């Protein structure tokens, strides 16, 4: 018994030593990556961001200390939003909150098409959604250090884009940005991110365009995972059942936060295509399990993914997905489907009447 106990102790000691060595190796690797990003890449962003070396580093995950800066540069600011504009939108939001809380009904010109009930519902939804945003972290809920920041960004956005307003799921995107950027910069990144074609299609609930994205996704689904694709078809499991939640929150609700941030890293590099490639990577990773499940169990499984996803295995699965079908890339497939839809709409008798 003494010998067995000593053997166990030795095995545990060796295991701890190996874990410590791996942690030290990881910390050294992150430290070296931070130096490369800060000293070589960021000062020469325009010339280096598309180089093979940077793209490979990007895939490995951006170090947390430079992540916000890289995301800001990659997302860009096509909308030319300034810190001053954020302050103006926030001041308007605060004025509306005060007005609604005191029962006022004054409507500014740009909001004339939106009823007081709509605005109140939007503000109530923000309040409710904030309480459900990363509840395990306890930092965005009432009394938490980032509650007011998240509330401010979402409120300011409803004033900046009253035509879009607040849509469920936005709070997760804003929260991830808050964890990596200063408040005004997070608002700038948030507004520009939501202005991308895919995000705008989903957040404005453009059904036609959403169906086009789902159809493009299915082209690559069938190409990469024909067996699972056939199983989903047999069970009438359509992409909207699992993709909507993933796209609306950019995986930040479905995946562990550190893994979601790595998905965001490559999404900032590759654009919307990577969101759908990630979805296929998830399906590939769990293909064996999913092919044995029925409709209900597949839907439940994909709605709540396992929390202990190994990052390297996960990204290996994504890397194995080919985003090319019959020599056509994602953008070409999507454009062709959009063109077909437009032509169908033009030829529809109901639309001609």
Q: What is the pLDDT of residues 86-125, one digit of tens each?
A: 999 999 999 888 887 776 554 454 454 555 556 556 777 8
CATH 1.10.472.80 correct for 199-346: yes
- Round to whole Å and give the CA distance between 282 and 277: 9
Banded pLDDT at 257 (limits 50, 70, 90): very high
At 324, which helix (H) or strand (E)?
strand 324-325
Tell me what percent of the residues of the chain surpass a pLDDT of 70.
88
Structure tokens at 216: 């493009």
Q: Write down the pLDDT at residue 350.
A: 46
Is residue 158 pLDDT above 60, yes or no? yes
Q: How far is CA 247 from the centre of its chain?
A: 6
In the predicted model, what is the mean pLDDT of residues 268-276?
96
> How many CB atoms are closer than 10 A to CB 200?
14
Q: What is the homologous superfamily of the domain 10-60 according to CATH?
A: Ypt/Rab-GAP domain of gyp1p, domain 1 (1.10.10.750)
Residue 69 exposure: Cα atoms within 13 Å on the Cβ side: 13
The CATH code that applies to domain 83-103+114-193 is 1.10.8.270
Q: Write down the pLDDT at residue 351.
A: 44
pLDDT tens per residue across span 164-218:
999 999 999 999 999 999 999 999 999 999 999 999 999 999 999 999 999 999 9
Positive or negative, the CA dihedral 218, 258, 76, 183 is positive
Of 320, 284, 286, the C-alpha closest to 304 is 286
Of 217, 221, 180, the C-alpha closest to 75 is 180
Q: CA of 40: how far to CAs of 34, 35, 53, 91, in Å?
A: 10, 8, 11, 39
Structure tokens at 340: 């077909």
Q: Write down the pLDDT at residue 10.
A: 77
Tell me what percent of the residues of the chain surpass a pLDDT of 90.
73
pLDDT tens per residue across span 228-254:
999 999 999 999 999 999 999 999 999
Q: Write down the pLDDT at residue 219.
A: 96
Q: How far is CA 145 from the centre of its chain?
A: 23
Higher pLDDT, 222 or 342: 222
Does residue 19 sit in helix, strand or coil?
Answer: helix
Is residue 23 pLDDT above 80, yes or no? no
- Round to whole Å and give the CA distance between 167 and 186: 18
The residue count of the chain comes to 353
Domain segments of the chain as ranges: 10-60, 83-103+114-193, 199-346
Residue with tokens 């961001």: 49
- Round to whole Å and give the CA distance between 269 and 52: 12
């Amino acid at each position: 018994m003494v010998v067995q106990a000593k053997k166990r102790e030795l095995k545990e000691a060796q295991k701890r030593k190996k874990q410590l060595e791996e942690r030290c190796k990881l910390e050294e690797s992150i430290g070296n990556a931070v130096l490369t990003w800060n000293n070589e890449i960021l000062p020469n962003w325009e010339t280096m961001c598309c180089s093979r070396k940077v793209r490979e580093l990007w895939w490995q995950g951006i170090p947390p200390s430079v992540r916000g800066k890289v995301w800001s540069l990659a997302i860009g600011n096509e909308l030319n939003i300034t810190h001053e504009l954020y302050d103006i939108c926030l001041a308007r939001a605060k004025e509306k909150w005060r007005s609604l809380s005191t029962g006022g009904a004054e409507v500014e010109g740009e909001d004339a098409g939106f009823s007081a009930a709509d605005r109140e519902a939007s503000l109530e939804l923000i309040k409710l959604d904030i309480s459900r945003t990363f509840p395990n972290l306890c930092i965005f809920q009432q009394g938490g250090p980032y509650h007011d920041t998240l509330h401010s960004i979402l409120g300011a956005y409803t004033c900046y884009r009253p035509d879009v307003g607040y849509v469920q799921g936005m709070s997760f995107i804003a929260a991830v940005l808050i964890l990596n950027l200063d408040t005004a910069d997070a608002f700038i990144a948030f507004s520009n991110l939501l202005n991308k074609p895919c995000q705008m299609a989903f957040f404005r609930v453009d059904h036609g365009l959403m169906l086009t994205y789902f159809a493009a996704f299915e082209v690559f689904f069938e190409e990469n995972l024909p067996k699972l694709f056939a199983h989903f078809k047999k069970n009438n499991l359509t992409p909207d059942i699992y993709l909507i939640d993933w796209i609306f929150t950019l995986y930040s609700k479905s995946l562990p936060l550190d893994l979601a941030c790595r998905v965001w890293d490559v999404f900032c590099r590759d654009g919307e295509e990577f969101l759908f490639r990630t979805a296929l990577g998830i399906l590939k990773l769990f293909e064996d399990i999913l092919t044995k499940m029925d409709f209900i169990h597949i839907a439940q499984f994909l709605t709540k993914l396992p929390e202990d996803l190994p990052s390297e295995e996960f990204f290996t699965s994504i890397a194995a997905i080919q985003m090319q079908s019959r020599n056509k890339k994602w953008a070409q497939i999507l454009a062709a489907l959009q063109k077909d839809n437009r032509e169908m709409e033009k030829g529809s008798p109901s639309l001609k009447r």
